């Protein structure tokens, strides 16, 4: 079992490159199943969730391979089976989104109900209603979704809330449906735009991505193509918050500043100096942050994925901050861990009431999910002493080389197998 050890108190300094987007890659890879011929995606991150998706594509007989340079080759000219293996789909919610492409290509799909980070109920009812609206017959039996269709037909679909996954999944299926599909109340996240750009390059016809109404004209077939994945806005946001939290001076490069406007504005509210260029963001901070309020909302609101890192940052504010989570009902497991590190946080309903303390102190803590992991690393960078973080497998699902990137910014951080702690102690002197 791996642990991350981080010794706090060092302001982060220097520049750090943003990797390719996890969530965009996880939307593009199922869509690659629609195409005949080879797709080459560039800028795909080497992280646990992408490795799971690679295994899943291989498991249904599709040739998919991620190279060390971040290029991922997928050739779905042939798909051997409509059945997705339980162990892989249970590992990651995004794997469920191969159901639609299988249905569109093979006329049937058998995919288990998904697992993933435990942050809330995370239903898939919109996905299933979307399949049914496009003409599929869907049954849920023994924990599996079984869907059949003799050709999908375009439809008008209204999402009850703007789900990113359901928007991407329905958009993908609709590309091969007969006629026009309109998704109302669609998610407007940049990952949806990246997906639309990709399927349009494959020969699809998608309009309106990035707005709340997306129109898809079905086509008979799509072809493989090449596409560069957008930068990971959550990774960029995590480094920005880490820089601010340590009183550091960091340039986050190779990112799209427009995608993290909400994070930029909240950091500025807290008194952090943030400058932006065409593809970089410079964050400099000194002294304690001012207390702020933040509420998670669909894009362009403040992202739920940055709620946990922001909470860590605000633990040392010069007053009381309120952070409200409206997307997931259980995305608060980091709070007990932060309190063990000396934070003063009370949960009232869906709001964390954070009363700033002078400083955090190191403790043994465990990451319960990916972004809780980022929050604990940030807290460890802020704290006096050496923090030991378990649950590293969650962090590795979504952050590429996070300890190496933070080390390059001057952090004292390392990831070790249990039992190697002494090596770490020696490394730290
Ligand atoms: N929802 C339903 N029914 C559905 C689908 C969603 O009720 O059929 C609800 C969910 O229960 C949740 C809300 O809608 O309360 C948002 O879910 P959404 O479908 O938008 O989330 P997702 O597509 O499963 C993606 C990201 C998440 C990110 C959310 C919100 C991927 C692979 N994951 O999830 O990222 O938090 O959008 O922005 O794109 C992460 O990266 O750490 C992460 C969890």
CA separation (Å) from 83 to 80, 103, 106, 143, 394? Answer: 9, 11, 11, 13, 26
162, 165, 170, 171: CA torsion to nearest 10: 90
309 and 281, same structural domain? yes
Q: Would you state the pLDDT for residue 427?
A: 54
Proportion of the chain above pLDDT 70, given as a percent: 97
User: How many domains, the chain?
Assistant: 2
Q: Is the pLDDT of residue 329 over 90?
A: no
Residue that finishes a domain, picked among 177, 203, 228: 228
Q: Is the pLDDT of residue 393 over 60?
A: yes
User: Which residue among 164, 238, 299 has the greatest number of ligand 1 atoms within 8 angstroms of its CB, and so is best to mutate?
Assistant: 164
Q: Is the pLDDT of residue 304 over 90?
A: yes
Q: Is the pLDDT of residue 12 over 80?
A: yes
293 and 388, same structural domain? yes
61 and 210, same structural domain? yes
DSSP string, 218-281: --S-EE--EEEPPB-HHHHHHHHHHHHHTT-EEEEES--GGGGHHHHHHHHHTT-EEEE-SSEE
**Contact between 117 and 369 (Cβ < 8 Å):** yes
**Nearest atom of ligand 1 to the alpha carbon of 49:** 32
Please report, for the domain that includes residue 311, its CATH number. 3.65.10.10
Q: Would you state the pLDDT for residue 290?
A: 98
**Per-residue pLDDT band at 310 (split at 50, 70, 90):** very high
346 and 386, same structural domain? yes
Residue that finishes a domain, picked among 185, 204, 228: 228
307 and 216, same structural domain? no
Q: Is the pLDDT of residue 125 over 90?
A: yes
Tokens 């002494």 sit on residue:
422
195 and 119, same structural domain? yes
Whose CA is closest to 172, among 125, 209, 226? 209
Show the domain range for 383.
Answer: 2-19+231-427
286 and 167, same structural domain? no
245 and 223, same structural domain? no
Averaged over 82-101, what is the pLDDT? Answer: 94
Handedness of CA 376, 377, 382, 388 (dihedral sign): positive
176 and 40, same structural domain? yes
328 and 370, same structural domain? yes
Q: Is the pLDDT of residue 330 over 90?
A: no
Q: Which residues participate in catalysis according to the annotation?
A: 117
**Per-residue pLDDT band at 114 (split at 50, 70, 90):** confident
Q: Is the pLDDT of residue 429 over 50?
A: no
User: Distance between alpha carbon 6 and the CA centroid of its chain, in Å?
Assistant: 23
pLDDT per residue as tens digits for the range 23-62: 999 999 999 999 999 999 999 999 999 999 999 999 999 9
Q: Is the pLDDT of residue 337 over 60?
A: yes
Q: Is the pLDDT of residue 426 over 50?
A: no
Tell me, in angstroms, the distance from the centre of ligand 1 to residue 164's CA. 6
220 and 303, same structural domain? no
Pocket around ligand 1 at a 6 A CB cut-off = 23, 26, 93-94, 117, 120-127, 161, 163-166, 234, 303-305, 327-328, 370-371, 398
Number of C-beta neighbours around residue 182 at 10 A? 17
Q: Is the pLDDT of residue 118 over 80?
A: no
143 and 243, same structural domain? no
Nearest C-alpha to atom 18 of ligand 1 is from which residue? Answer: 163
Residue that finishes a domain, picked among 228, 261, 294: 228
């Amino acid at each position: 079992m791996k642990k991350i050890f981080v010794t706090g108190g060092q302001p982060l300094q220097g520049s750090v490159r943003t990797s390719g987007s996890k969530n965009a890659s996880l939307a593009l890879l199922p869509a690659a199943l629609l195409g005949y011929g080879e797709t080459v995606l560039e800028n795909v991150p080497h992280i646990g969730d992408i490795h799971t998706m690679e295994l899943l594509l291989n498991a249904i007989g599709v040739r998919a391979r991620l190279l060390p340079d971040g290029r991922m080759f997928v050739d779905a000219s042939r798909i051997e089976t409509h059945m997705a293996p339980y162990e892989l789909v249970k590992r990651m919610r995004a794997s469920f989104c191969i159901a639609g492409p299988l249905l569109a290509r093979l006329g049937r799909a058998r995919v288990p109900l998904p697992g993933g980070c435990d942050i809330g109920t995370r239903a898939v009812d919109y996905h299933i209603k979307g399949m049914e609206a496009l003409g599929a017959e869907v049954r849920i039996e023994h924990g599996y979704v079984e869907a059949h269709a003799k050709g999908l037909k375009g439809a008008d679909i209204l999402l009850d809330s703007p789900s990113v996954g359901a928007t991407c999944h329905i958009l993908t299926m609709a590309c091969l449906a007969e006629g026009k599909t309109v998704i109302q109340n669609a998610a407007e996240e940049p990952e949806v735009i990246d997906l639309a750009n990709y399927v349009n390059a494959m020969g699809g016809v998608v309009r309106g991505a990035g707005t709340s109404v997306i129109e898809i004209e079905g086509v008979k077939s799509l072809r493989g193509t090449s596409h560069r994945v957008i930068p990971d806005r959550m990774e960029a946001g995590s480094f920005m918050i880490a820089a601010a939290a340590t009183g550091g001076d960091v340039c986050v490069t190779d990112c799209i500043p427009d995608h993290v406007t909400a994070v930029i504005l909240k950091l500025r509210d807290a008194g952090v100096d943030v400058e932006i260029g065409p593809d970089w963001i410079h964050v400099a901070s000194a002294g304690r942050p001012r207390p702020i309020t933040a509420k998670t909302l669909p894009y362009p609101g403040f992202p739920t994925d940055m709620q946990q890192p922001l909470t860590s940052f605000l633990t040392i504010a010069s007053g009381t901050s309120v952070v409200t989570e409206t997307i997931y009902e259980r995305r608060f497991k980091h709070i007990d861990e932060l309190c063990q590190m000396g934070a003063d946080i009370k949960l009232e309903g869906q709001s964390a009431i954070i009363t700033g303390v002078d400083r955090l102190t190191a403790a043994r803590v465990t990451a319960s999910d990916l972004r809780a992991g980022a929050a604990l690393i940030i807290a460890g960078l802020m704290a006096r002493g050496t923090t030991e973080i378990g649950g590293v497998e969650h962090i590795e699902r979504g952050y590429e080389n996070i300890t190496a990137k933070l080390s390059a910014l001057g952090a004292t951080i390392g990831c070790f197998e249990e039992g190697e702690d002494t090596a770490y102690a020696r490394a730290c002197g």
